[in-house]
Amino acid sequence: MTDFKGKSVLMFSPYGATKHYGEAIKSELERRGAVVYGYDERPSQRMLSKIIVRLFKNTIPQLFDNYINKILDEVSGHKIDFILICRGEAFAPLSINHLREAFPQAKVILYLWDILAYCNKRNIIQCCDRAFSFDPEDVLNNKGLTFRPTFFVDQYAHVENSESEYDMAFIGTVYPPRQKTIKFLTKSFHDQGYCFYRYMFVPSIIIYIRNLFKGFPFFHIWQIHFKPLTIEGITKVLSYCTSIIDINPPVQKSLSTRPYEAMAAHKKYITTNREIENYDFYNPNNIFVIDLENPIIPKSFFEKPFEEVPQEVLYKYSVKGLVDDLFKE
């Protein structure tokens, strides 16, 4: 386990619906003795700011660099040993070079948990001392990337199991064409006699209206939540369900955080992503890959008890294991 006593980390991570992942990494670094200066990976969480970043991050990188300048003013005079960039949607080579000029002794570490098809950061990979991605296909096709899957935060290892009210639960963002899959599976599970809980999130009313036209027929507004479920809310739902279901985007072969969260919470996991069969924790007793052509789940899958995952495997996919891998010398 890497010791960070006397070390300082300048850290950038998303402050939106997935803020708790960055907070977990920050807390683990601090637990090991590091001083961590944490910042949002984007100048603002406002929708206009997100649009500007996506449209102009490469053509006008100075827009984001102004944000970096403000941060450098705040941390000036401090020794920085590591610069950790998680996801880094707004970053361009200009900004990373600016950080290097300010802290020439610091090692720059990039950790991508979006696929490059959605968040194209190919131009900053070579600017970093180390670069990791959770997507095996991106690692295969892009020089300089090392494979590192995502992880679970500690709260999932402390889910208090109650008597199951739901056979399965879906908690996630809804968008075209995912909504069609959810509707299809909802009907299929109902026909099979299963109880299916859904918490369907859309980031804003504007996005909902766009999805309403783009993915018609979309869900009624009363079926949608405009606030993401908190980690406390997610773990509470998990305590009342037997399994959690994950619906991967068609172009994404990598795994989300859901399988790791499920194994930590001692919950079974249902997925549309057959790539999970290639991972070291795959166990058909705990994990079911659903066929969307014939989405039948045998009742025996729910009736058999969850099989314990070896502790070394759990550690590997915990935030502790992640920090070990990102900062390994």
Nearest-angstrom CA–CA distance, 213 and 234: 29
* Collapsed DSSP state (helix, strand, coil) of residue 198: strand
Same domain, 184 and 301: yes
Which one is predicted more confidently, 243 or 92? Answer: 243
| Mean pLDDT for the stretch of residues 240-257 | 90
pLDDT tier for residue 118 given thresholds of 50, 70 and 90: confident
pLDDT at 191: 96
| Mean pLDDT for the stretch of residues 161-186 | 92
Same domain, 198 and 263: yes
pLDDT at 77: 87
Which one is predicted more confidently, 215 or 70? Answer: 70
CATH code of 48's domain:
3.40.50.2000
Q: Which pair of tokens denotes residue 235?
A: 């773990």
Q: With respect to residue 219, please indicate whether it lies within any of the assigned structural domains.
A: yes
Nearest-angstrom CA–CA distance, 74 and 65: 14
Which one is predicted more confidently, 186 or 1? Answer: 186
Domain limit, last residue, from 148, 172, 202: 148
pLDDT at 82: 98
DSSP classification of residue 221? G
| Mean pLDDT for the stretch of residues 143-151 | 96
pLDDT at 205: 92
Same domain, 180 and 136: no
Nearest-angstrom CA–CA distance, 125 and 121: 7
Which pLDDT tens digit goes with each residue over 252-276? Answer: 889 999 999 999 999 999 999 999 9
| Mean pLDDT for the stretch of residues 194-199 | 97
Mean pLDDT across the chain, nearest whole number? 91
Asked if 286 and 269 count as a contact pair (C-beta separation under 8 A), the reply is: yes
Asked if 132 and 327 count as a contact pair (C-beta separation under 8 A), the reply is: no
Domain limit, last residue, from 148, 174, 197: 148
Domain count, the chain: 2
pLDDT at 137: 93
**In terms of Cα–Cα distance, which of 133, 165, 126 is closest to 147?**
133
Identify the helix (H) or strand (E) that includes residue 270.
strand 268-271
Q: Which pair of tokens denotes residue 110?
A: 């990039």
Same domain, 131 and 162: no
Asked if 44 and 52 count as a contact pair (C-beta separation under 8 A), the reply is: no
Q: With respect to residue 94, please indicate whether it lies within any of the assigned structural domains.
A: yes
CB atoms within 10 A of CB 282: 14
pLDDT at 59 over 50: no
pLDDT at 9: 98
pLDDT at 107 over 80: yes
DSSP 99-148: HHHH-TTPEEEEEE-S-TTTS--HHHHTTSSEEEES-HHHHHHSTTEEE-
Same domain, 144 and 160: no
Which one is predicted more confidently, 177 or 109? Answer: 109
Q: With respect to residue 327, please indicate whether it lies within any of the assigned structural domains.
A: no
Q: With respect to residue 160, please indicate whether it lies within any of the assigned structural domains.
A: yes
Q: With respect to residue 229, please indicate whether it lies within any of the assigned structural domains.
A: yes
CATH code of 230's domain:
3.40.50
**In terms of Cα–Cα distance, which of 38, 99, 111 is closest to 327?**
111
Domain limit, last residue, from 118, 148, 178: 148
Which pLDDT tens digit goes with each residue over 5-56? Answer: 999 999 999 987 788 999 999 999 999 999 999 999 877 555 544 555 555 5
| Alpha helix (H) residue ranges in the chain | 19-31, 47-56, 62-75, 93-102, 122-125, 136-141, 178-191, 205-214, 231-239, 258-264, 299-303, 311-316, 319-326
Q: Provide the domain limits for residue 245.
A: 155-316
Q: With respect to residue 1, please indicate whether it lies within any of the assigned structural domains.
A: no
Same domain, 240 and 193: yes
Which pLDDT tens digit goes with each residue over 148-166? Answer: 999 999 999 999 888 889 9
pTM (predicted TM-score): 0.90
Same domain, 211 and 229: yes
Which pLDDT tens digit goes with each residue over 288-328? Answer: 999 999 999 999 999 999 999 999 999 999 999 999 999 98
Nearest-angstrom CA–CA distance, 161 and 56: 47
pLDDT at 92 over 90: no
Same domain, 138 and 174: no
